[in-house]
Amino acid sequence: MLHDTIAVANCILEIAATHDQFPTPMKLQKLVYFTHGWHLGLGQGALCDEEVEAWQWGPVFPSLYQAGKMWGSEPIRHLLAARRGMRTPRIKPKEDRFAPVLAARIWEVYGNMTASQLSRMTHQKGTPWREVRGNPQRGGIIPNDLIRAYFMAKASGDDPA
């Protein structure tokens, strides 16, 4: 099931808050990317409703960048709205039971890492970000097929990075 990218981010923010932790915008970007990637890699299809772009510091969802940029490099302490003055999107567990469970698992695995550590992980050889950044003909978009293949390989133990 496709979700608003901000709803996925808010799911992670809610999980982080239960651990009394608040990710920075950059860390949240990477956590949403890993959640989206693992969702694809585990055969569940795309999770976020927008394309991932290969920016300098790693994969970025543009709507999440816009929603979180006011925080700068400070921790995000509130749920995000889709746009200023708009609703606060959320994943409804009754509609999708898998995504919140996956987001919780992503937090368990990656939540204690810094934004820089997560960014470095996305920059490793063989990662979708590296493939796109190294090939200007791709246009800066990281295709879901590339993300899916990478995370499927990780899930099967045939980790390319």
Q: Residue 161 domain-assigned?
A: no
In tens digits, the chain (161 residues) has pLDDT values of 899 999 999 999 999 999 999 999 999 999 999 999 999 999 999 999 999 999 998 999 999 999 999 999 999 999 998 765 567 898 987 889 999 999 999 999 999 999 999 999 999 999 999 999 988 777 799 999 999 999 999 998 865 44
Residue 160 in domain: no
Overall pTM > 0.85: yes
The answer to whether residues 138 and 131 touch, using CB atoms and an 8 Å cutoff, is yes
Per the domain annotation, does 58 fall within a domain?
yes
Query: DSSP character for 55?
Result: E
Q: What's the number of domains the chain is made of?
A: 1
Quick check: is 71 in a domain?
Answer: yes
Q: Which domain holds residue 57?
A: 5-155
